[in-house]
Structure 1
Amino acid sequence: MTTSLGEADWEALARNMLRAELMRRGLSYARLVEALAAIGVEETEAAIKNKVSRGRFPFVFFLQAMVAIGADWMQVPGSAALLQGEGLGQGGTQTLAKARKDPTP
């Protein structure tokens, strides 16, 4: 357990949140390229792989990706969960993909 998060932790969370949304929908990076193109955003698969693997991408890109794949709601782990490592490190993507709880209407 940690008491604070470093830059690498935030990058891992960003990477894993995007990957988790793709995983939930069974989408590949190639399909993300097609979905982005459908909303007028031109990206190559290689460029997306590089952005995501670094975990450093503009929030605008994150929003574009979420809209393109049809994500209309996203759950961000709370501080207690993050400090316990939820969504970070090895297996973080799978943890986030399984943890989604849809809001009640």
Structure 2
Amino acid sequence: MFVSPAYAQAAGGAGGAGAIAQFIPLILIFVIMYFLILRPQQKRAREHRDMVAALKRGDQVVTNGGLIGKITDVKDEELTVEVAQGVKVRIVRGSVAQVVSTVKPVAANS
């Protein structure tokens, strides 16, 4: 019914190798989370930051709110987007979700 004193004394603490083996699954979970969640999220954030930095006048964009329009003016952190003829909206650069079409630079005639 009760555990004999001999068994209780024989069960000692885990050794150095046993303690490390207990942390291996935890370490593997963090490594898997890094490669499946954190790394792709950082890559998407970097691509969005590059896309926002490359915005220029004439690009057709979609905002996070769903507005589709053409950029008419670019300032430091502010864009003016024409969503309809004569209707212009000022938005923050970071609110651009994607670029639908870009304007190709015109070659200089020499």
TM-score of the alignment, normalized to the shorter chain, above 0.5 = no
Please state which structure has a larger fraction of its residues in helix: 1
TM-score, normalization: structure 2?
Answer: 0.29
Higher relative contact order (CA 8 A, sep 6+): 1
Higher radius of gyration, 1 or 2: 2
Q: TM-score scaled to structure 1, two decimals?
A: 0.30
Greater strand fraction, Structure 1 or Structure 2: 2
